[in-house]
Amino acid sequence: MTRIAPQDPQVLLEMIQSRLFPFPKRHFNAAQDLDPPDILALLDLADVFVELNRRTNKKLDLLKGRTQVNLFFENSTRTMSSFELAGKRLGADTVNMNPRTSSVAKGETLIDTAVTLNAMKPDLLVVRHSASGAAQLLGQKVGCSVVNAGDGQHQHPTQALLDMLSIRRAFGHVDSLTVAICGDVAHSRVARSNVILLNAMGANVRLVGPPTLIPGDADEWGVEVYHDMKAGITGANVVMMLRLQLERMDGAFIPSTREYFRYFGLDREKLAVAAPDVRVMHPGPMNRGVEIDSEVADDLSISLIQDQVEMGVAARMAVLASLAARLETDR
């Protein structure tokens, strides 16, 4: 990977156009929609967007005239803002919609929503829904491109892409790195997407957590499974913490947050067994003192958590721009 030095706007635009490629599919539903060359191409494109986002004038007109609808059935300020900024910086007209999940809980009503949307003729539809498979269902019913911004416990592929961008920028490569994904894997769409992308790019992936929070068949995902945190992060280059779904605490998955922190919370002591160059990640929002100690989360020499937020906008710009490029070729 080559770092891009600040250059004049015209050069930057040329770099973007030279790296821009039509997305391989009409929708971006899941991490497995991408082959390694696509992943690399998206990361290279995102690198240029990072530079663009650090300039005063961040706007392009790549998506000029395009309509992007952010359809968030489930609340998520971070992800929605990230997609909204990404669209706006590319020149799209963005609209945010927050339909109440309860009124569209059934498949039929989700399809009704699709019919309504179709009538509005958007070009890009960014969907977040609490049900696994909801984005895919919408993709079958609408004429535009759908980006899955998180569906139930299934996938969150743009998060995995931004995580990989953060890792690649920190280490210069992804292959051969040992990445430990720790915590509530069972309920995590982030983990599922990351496992696929990281495996595809040649990283050694480990899943770490109590047996109640690791899916039973996870050992068949091409990862190593650990139930002991220290063993799981020993020698790891990246320790990716997951948010513990506190709202699920009454479901008897773990005894208490204090016990969870004692055995699976990331603090300096546990982190000492990781590789000397270790970087810590978290998709946010964090439960401080539950899955991660503030001392670790806020240490900028090891934490990539702020970088992840910044990379989120760039990675999503890369996805939206590539999907729009495909729309051009489809035309």
Partner 1 sequence: MKQSQPIALVNARLIDPASDYDGLGSLILTEGVIAEVLHTAHLPSGSADMKVIDCDGKVVCPGLIDLRVKTGEPGAEPKETLKSASRAAAAGGVTSMVVQPDTDPVIDEPAMVDFILRRARDIELVHVYPAGAATKGHNGKQMAEIGLMSESGAVYFTDVENPIINSKVLARVLSYANGFNALIAHRPKEPWLSDGAVATSGEMAARMGLSGVSALAERIALERDLALVELTGARLLVDQITTAGSIKAIAQAKAKGLDVYASTSINHLVFNEIDIGDYRTFYRLDPPLRSEDDRTALVEALADGLIDVVVSNHTPLPAEDKRRPFSEAEPGAIGLQTLLAALIGLHHDRDIPLIDLLRTVTINPAQLIGLEAGRLAPGAPADLIVVDIDAPFALRESDILSKSKNSPFENRTLQGKVELTLVDGRIVYQA
Which parts are annotated binding residues? 78-79, 106, 128, 156, 159, 189, 243, 284-285
Kindly give, in sequence order, each residue whose CB lies less than 8 Å from that of residue 2, ignoring residues fewer than 6 positions away. none
- Residue 247 interacts with partner 1 (CB under 8 A)? no
- Residue 256 interacts with partner 1 (CB under 8 A)? yes
Kindly give, in sequence order, each residue whose CB lies less than 8 Å from that of residue 256, ignoring residues fewer than 6 positions away. none
Cβ proximity to partner 1, 23 vs 226, nearer residue: 226
Cβ proximity to partner 1, 119 vs 252, nearer residue: 252
Q: Are 208 and 181 in contact (CB under 8 A)?
A: yes
Q: How far, in Å, are 36, 107, 227 from residue 145 at the CA level? A: 21, 20, 40
Q: Which positions from 181 to 210 touch partner 1 by CB under 8 A, shown as an x/- string?
A: -----------------------------x
Q: Which positions from 260 to 299 touch partner 1 by CB under 8 A, shown as an x/- string?
A: --xx------------------------------------
- Residue 217 interacts with partner 1 (CB under 8 A)? no
Give the full edge-to-edge strand order of the sheet including 238-241.
224-226, 204-208, 178-182, 238-241, 279-281
We find the least distance from the C-beta atom of residue 214 to partner 1, in angstroms, to be 9
Q: Are 124 and 118 in contact (CB under 8 A)?
A: no
- Residue 253 interacts with partner 1 (CB under 8 A)? yes
Q: Which among 15-23, 177-185, 232-240, 251-259 is the span making contact with partner 1, rule CB under 8 A?
A: 251-259
We find the least distance from the C-beta atom of residue 242 to partner 1, in angstroms, to be 16
- Residue 255 interacts with partner 1 (CB under 8 A)? yes
Three-class SS state of 231: helix
Q: How far, in Å, are 28, 148, 171, 177 from residue 300 at the CA level? A: 32, 30, 15, 20
- Residue 35 interacts with partner 1 (CB under 8 A)? no
145-151 and 178-182 strand pairing: unpaired
- Residue 55 interacts with partner 1 (CB under 8 A)? no
We find the least distance from the C-beta atom of residue 247 to partner 1, in angstroms, to be 14
232: closest CA among 217, 244, 218?
218
Structure tokens, 194 = 């990351």
Q: Where on the chain is the footprint of partner 1 (CB under 8 A)?
A: 210-212, 216, 227-228, 250-256, 258-259, 262-263
